[in-house]
Amino acid sequence: MTMRLTTTDPTTEKDVETYEYHDDADLDRLLDRSADRFESWRDRPVTERQALVGSIADVLRENEDEYAELMTEEMGKPVSQARGEIQKCAWVCEFYAERAAEFLQDERVGVHPRARTKVSYEPLGPLVAVMPWNYPFWQVLRVAAPTLAAGNTMLLSHAPNVTGCAKAVERILDEAGFPEGVFTTLVVDTDAIHDAVADDRVAAATLTGSVRAGRAVAETAGNNLKPSVLELGGSDPFVVLADAPLDRACEVAAKARVNNNGQACIAAKRFIVHEDVYESFRDGLVREMESLTVGDPADEDTDVGPIARADLLDTLETQVRETVDAGATVLTGGEALDREGYFFEPTVLEDVPDDAPAACDELFGPVASLFRVGSEEEAMELANDTDYGLGASVWTEDLERGERLAGEFEAGAAFVNELVQSHPKLPFGGVKNSGYGRELAADGIREFTNKKTVWVSPADGLDG
């Protein structure tokens, strides 16, 4: 019997589209095609590969509204943010179209006067990429652009609820002129993903998602001695010191918590505030959260749309309820909305116990947790008291102090007086349970290459 999956609009709870899963024979055929295509794709000049990556940007910009509306329909992203995601995808493709050859050029290393020594960057082969639903175009293309420019091929296993977005990305690359098989969308279940990662035709794996999923893929890759990159969850601290620029900090704090409906790994989740400004920041954050418009994400005026799936809404409700039962106070929000769709109110919690879900777990929704501290030292200790280490920010008028504290965060990225974000020109990734390896910048294109040492000595030897 053919297995099928159906995507659901989280705003209306209505079915969007039904897709057939690839069966074992399909998977074998697609793996064969990807491996065969790699042999010719790797030999294409890097200038040709990067030009094709640049063509992706052209297709994205020409069809921005179509792709944004698809995102909004499948996972509930406010449409203005969805357009911003498409624009960012075009940007990362243009970045690698310009810089790929530079990042991949041989590096000459002086070792001996009579020897020619260098480091070259050569593609590994087919890459399995397991991607999440929350940024359904960006997460894929920030991996695909450098991976394909480097000469690898890519097999995408996307989250089931954004299968339409996955299919759209494949069509985009086809329209951009990529040969068939360089990029392939797999519609498969979890067991098939692990089969693909373990397959001899696959060279490496990358995953963006939960810690549980990351551990599973890393175990499969490790057991088969294949490199992997993991970008996992986060519980980012947002540290507000006594000399913080409060008006801007409150405004950015709300944006940092509810962007993408609060469903972002690098969202600020724990707001750690010095007691001297605690009440002022708390009241300002509550005002900002209460000013947000919750509603249909297809409406241009909507700030916060639905949670992406019913089960994710149930999980968020449980986490908030258990946190309140443990002693936390709800300052605003705290409930799912009694309406069609998977909506949750923008929420601010205070007096959060150290062992409550809102302190320990990653809450994937528009819920901010406030913590009062009495000193800079206490703030940093609490900021680092987490199993995660993706991003962090500190807010202060003293920039030298801010830069010093940025160096103390146990995180892959630290920002002073700014929203934590990814940028094509900067490496992105985490430490601890937030994963390992880096995406973007030069690091991202080199992650899935063989960094090969080449040593050429004269025939009569180095001393001849």
User: Alpha-carbon distance 423 to 441, whole Å?
Assistant: 8
User: Alpha-carbon distance 122 to 400, whole Å?
Assistant: 41
Contact between 198 and 81 (Cβ < 8 Å): no
pLDDT in tens, 84-140: 999 999 999 999 999 999 999 999 999 999 999 999 999 999 999 999 999 999 999
Domain boundaries in the chain? Answer: 4-232+430-454, 236-416
Query: Kind of pairing, strands 435-436 and 15-20?
Result: unpaired
Cβ neighbours around 66 below 10 Å, total: 10
User: Which of 361, 127, 46, 399 is closest to 233 using CA atoms?
Assistant: 361
Query: Kind of pairing, strands 347-350 and 329-332?
Result: antiparallel
CA 264 distance to own-chain centroid: 8
User: Alpha-carbon distance 42 to 89, whole Å?
Assistant: 23
Q: Taking all residues of the chain, what is their mean pLDDT, rounded to a whole number?
A: 97
User: Which of 233, 230, 235, 247 is closest to 288 using CA atoms?
Assistant: 247
Contact between 362 and 269 (Cβ < 8 Å): yes
* Residue 250 annotated to the active site: no
- CA 171-135-295 angle, to 5 degrees, is 110
Which residues are CB-neighbours of 441 under 8 A, at least 6 positions away?
424, 425, 426, 427, 428
Catalytic residue among 265, 288, 362, 439: 265
* Residue 231 annotated to the active site: yes
Catalytic residue among 64, 231, 350, 447: 231
0.85 exceeded by pTM: yes
243, with CB counted inside 10 A (0-12, 13-18, 19+), is middle
Contact between 239 and 395 (Cβ < 8 Å): yes
Token duo for residue 85: 């995601």
CA dist list (Å): 150 to 111, 118, 154, 425: 27, 18, 11, 17
Per-residue pLDDT tens listing for the chain (464 residues): 578 999 999 999 999 999 999 999 999 999 999 999 999 999 999 999 999 999 999 999 999 999 999 999 999 999 999 999 999 999 999 999 999 999 999 999 999 999 999 999 999 999 999 999 999 999 999 999 999 999 999 999 999 999 999 999 999 999 999 999 999 999 999 999 999 999 999 999 999 999 999 999 999 999 999 999 999 999 999 999 999 999 999 999 999 999 999 999 999 999 999 999 999 999 999 999 999 999 999 999 999 999 999 999 999 999 999 999 999 999 999 999 999 999 999 999 999 999 999 999 999 999 999 999 999 999 999 999 999 999 999 999 999 999 999 999 999 999 999 999 999 999 999 999 999 999 999 999 999 999 999 999 999 999 87
Tell me which architecture the domain covering 4-232+430-454 has in CATH.
Answer: 3-Layer(aba) Sandwich (3.40)
CATH tag for 236-416 (out of 3.40.80.10, 3.40.50.80, 3.40.309.10, 3.20.20.70): 3.40.309.10
CA dist list (Å): 397 to 361, 392, 394: 30, 17, 10
In sequence order, the β-bridge partners of residue 156 are 129, 185
Sign of CA dihedral 181, 211, 199, 122: positive
**Phi, psi at 367, each rounded to 5°:** -125, 120
User: Alpha-carbon distance 175 to 168, whole Å?
Assistant: 10
Return the pLDDT at 427.
Answer: 98
Return the pLDDT at 464.
Answer: 72
Are the folds of 4-232+430-454 and 236-416 the same?
no
- Residue recorded with tokens 């089969």: 195
Q: Is 290 helix (H, G, I), strand (E, B) or coil?
A: helix
**Which runs of E-coded beta strand occur in 1-144?**
4-8, 15-20, 107-108, 116-123, 127-131
Q: First and final CA of the chain: distance in angstroms?
A: 72
